[in-house]
Amino acid sequence: MVHITTGELFREAIRQETELGKQAKPYYDRGQLVPDHLTIAMLLERLSQSDCARGCMLDGFPRTLEQATALDEALTREGKGINRVLYIKVPEDELLSRLSGRWNCRQCGSVYHQRFQPPRQAGRCDQCGGELYQRDDDRPETVRKRLEVYFQQTAPLIDYYRERGKLVEIDGNKSVEEVAEELLAAVDVP
């Protein structure tokens, strides 16, 4: 299934210095959410591409109630809808240490952690040999800001999707293998 990550779309736009990238960068750098009108337009444009015609998995979107209702409206117009919403629960101090030790592959996007999931060779991806880098917004002070923004603006979506019978809760405070297994079971759409 196509995997769409709004954070990655923003990182690409910022790397390429597009108009959207220039508008998003100040928010991104401070760990704040990019304004809804920019984020919604970017996401709906991506969803209109042919590879999404048979469905996709959204990651990092929606993050506000306005984004959630815009998504519902756009999908309803096309006779489509959301199957499931996966809520991966992890305690705050654990999130802090996971994000601040995270390393990403520049080439294939694989994710490592300096303590919990180190690569075989420091600075190199096990999968493709690509260079590993640390995201600027994974610095501890920006991570704290991102968590604050999450609790204020994104946490209300848990009830929004629970009330609509879409929410599946996953215990994310387990090993990578156990969480992966729970996630796969949750998306096993018949």
Stretch that binds ligand AMP, among 23-31, 82-90, 100-108, 182-190 (CB under 6 A): 23-31
104 binds ligand AMP (CB under 6 A): no
Which alpha helices (DSSP H) does 6-88 contain, by range? 6-15, 19-30, 36-47, 65-77
Nearest CB to ligand AMP, comparing residues 32 and 100 = 32
CA atoms within 13 A on the CB side of 21: 10
CB of 59 to ligand AMP, least distance (A): 7
Query: What is the residue whose two structure tokens read 């809808």?
Result: 81
| Number of residues that make up the chain | 190
Considering only residues 124-163, where is the footprint of ligand AMP by CB under 6 A? 137, 146
Residue 105 in tokens = 């592959």
Contact criterion met (CB below 8 Å) for 102 and 138? yes
Of these, 47, 63, 85, 125, which contacts ligand AMP (CB under 6 A)? 63
* Site map (CB under 6 A) of ligand AMP, residues 24-53, x = contact: ---xx--xxxx----x--------------
Q: What is the dihedral sign for C-alpha 13, 64, 170, 175? A: positive
CB of 121 to ligand AMP, least distance (A): 25
Nearest CB to ligand AMP, comparing residues 34 and 125 = 34
How far apart are the C-alpha atoms of 54 and 36, rounded to whole Å? Answer: 25
* Residues at the interface with ligand AMP (CB under 6 A): 6-7, 10, 27-28, 31-34, 39, 60-61, 63, 67, 137, 146
